[in-house]
């Protein structure tokens, strides 16, 4: 994801934080530091699990199997962005 798209995505997350809280869910943290730290810890735990007999099955095959907490909602954001562009295009052309 480009830096410009990431900034737009973060703004979208910030604008929609109330929606998560209304649904009883915690919104994702927007901190890059938290993101890097959590990925580093997850990688180390997965590496350790792969070395232990019987527990290696608990480790994900690669880090792309599960998106990070911040990037978990990228698809919803993309759909929202595209639908907004379509809406804008069709209201301007009418």
Q: Show the 3-state SS of the chain.
A: CCHHHHHHHHHHHHHCHHHHHHCCCCCCCCCHHHHHHHHHHHHHHHHHHHHCCCCHHHCCCCCCCCCCCCHHHHHHHHHHHHHHHHHHHHHHHC
CA distance 23 to 38: 25
Give the pLDDT confidence score for residue 22 in this predicted structure: 92
Give the pLDDT confidence score for residue 63 in this predicted structure: 63
Can you list the residues of the chain whose pLDDT is less than 70?
Answer: 62-67, 92-94
């Amino acid at each position: 994801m480009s830096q410009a798209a990431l900034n737009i995505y973060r703004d979208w997350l910030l604008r929609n934080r109330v929606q998560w809280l209304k649904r009883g869910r915690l919104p994702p943290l927007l901190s890059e530091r938290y993101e890097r730290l959590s990925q580093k810890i997850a990688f180390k735990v997965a590496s350790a699990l792969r070395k232990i007999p019987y527990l290696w099955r608990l480790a994900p095959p690669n880090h792309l199997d599960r998106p990070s907490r911040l990037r978990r909602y990228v698809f919803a954001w993309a759909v929202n962005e595209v639908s907004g562009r379509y809406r804008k295009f069709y209201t301007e052309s009418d």
